[in-house]
A and B are shown apart, each in its own frame.
Chain A
Amino acid sequence: MTIVEQRVADVTILRLKGRLELDEGDVMLRDHVNRLVAEGRVQLLIDMKDVTRMDSAGIGMLAGKFMTVKRRGGAMHLLNLTARTGRLMHITKLETIFEIFHDEDEALRSFG
């Protein structure tokens, strides 16, 4: 997996590309978010448009980092879920936890 980072004011957008799975992207996401949190950047928008595959470890890492950021007083929202990743968020009921957007401007405004 690759992660491209973009900063828009206080919000950091992470654009994920490839597989978010056990031993394949999950650790990279964890380390990247941890580094941002250590810098005090806790308003995160995760762009999932190019996530080709995701497993329970990938979902678990998303949820885990959601908790990390929340405890630091921040927020982590999701952008552009595909049919496949959206279905998994529904099955795991995590769509009730995350704020999910399909419009980037709207997602950025949601951070206030």
Chain B
Amino acid sequence: MAVTAPATGRRILLVDDDRGLRHVLSTLLTDVGHTLVSAADGPEALAQLEQGGFDIVLLDLGLPGINGLEVLAHARALPNPPLVIVMTADDTSATLLEAVRRQAYRYLRKPFAPNEVVSIIAGAMATAPHAALSIEVVSARPEWLEVIAPCSLEMADRIQSFVMHLEADLPEAIRESVAQAFRELLTNAIEWGGKLDTTKTVRISCVRARRMLLYRISDPGKGFDIDRLKHAAISNPDGDPLKHFAEREEKGIRPGGFGLAMTRSLVDELIYNEARNEVILIKYLD
């Protein structure tokens, strides 16, 4: 027996000058219940957007006529803006950062597996209306990305996706460790610090130096006392990795508590401020 999340059809504008890709994605997305409208260049995309009614735009950036980034800005300025998923072979950090600044929902580097688009759309629509929340860009330099984002778990996926695209040149093992640690800290900040309240925000800085990565995450919570974390795995004695579960059950907290223990093992340094509502993780590159 297979168990899958229910699919709900959405109206999607697909903008790409590659006829083959348009055909593949149109067929795939129509098959899973979405309604597709296609455009082959920038002016055609703008004309379609003017008619309105799109939930999602799948947008190539290297378009004839009008650049995809301009189409993105236009789409996001509409009264009921669709989510825009950028698809591009342009892997420069400047392009990615501009897409983030113009409120792209996700960034897909070509070539990609067509099913990845299906998965991203399903995730986006499952979390609506949070999917439409905006990320405020404080700094969009490749060596210093800083954003402020509402406290929704869906934001963790979006931000992690953008940040990991920026670090695409790093060895896979480092990228994987950093991605995992970053996600753990970010979801902690959003879930525990921000209480999943989308009126509150987390502030995230990603600094790329020649010999290290430094990420800082500030959450709006009061912080925590590390000596009172009996519900976390870091408090367990050797030989009893589930001792903290009793504490979690007593407090009515879902099974878990492994995030801090995992993060400590994945990065080189983990430094909290005094209140512990702000954390820095460091990964050395040599």
Contacts and interface: CB of A to CB of B under 8 A. Distances in A.
Chain A interface helix/strand/loop/mixed: helix
Contacts of A50: none
B241 A28 contact: no
A48 to B, nearest CB: 16
A18 B119 CA distance: 10
Interface stretch (A39-47, A56-64, A101-109): A56-64
Contacts of B180: 55, 88
Given A3-B2, A55-B184, A57-B256, A64 B245 contact: yes
B67 interface: no
A57 B256 CA distance: 5
Contact of A2 (B2, B123, B233): B2
B259 A56 contact: yes
A88 B262 contact: yes
Interface residues of B, number: 28
Interface residues of A, number: 28
Contacts of A56: 184, 256-259, 262
B3 A2 contact: yes
A3 B245 contact: no
A59 B258 contact: yes
A3 B2 CA distance: 6
B258 A60 contact: yes
Nearest to B236: A93
A59 B183 CA distance: 14
A100 interface: no
A63 B259 CA distance: 13
A72 to B, nearest CB: 16
B48 to A, nearest CB: 32
Contact of A4 (B1, B183, B255): B1
Given A3-B2, A4-B1, A55-B183, A97 B241 contact: yes
Contacts of B4: 2
Given A88-B262, A92-B233, A94-B241, A4 B2 contact: yes
Nearest to B183: A55
A61 B255 contact: yes
B12 to A, nearest CB: 22
B241 A93 contact: yes
Interface string A10-26: 00000000100011100
A3 B5 CA distance: 10
Contacts of A91: 261-262, 265-266
A60 B261 CA distance: 12
Interface in A48-78: 55-57, 59-61, 63-65, 67
8 contacts: A55-B259, A56-B184, A56-B257, A56-B258, A57-B187, A65-B255, A67-B255, A93-B241
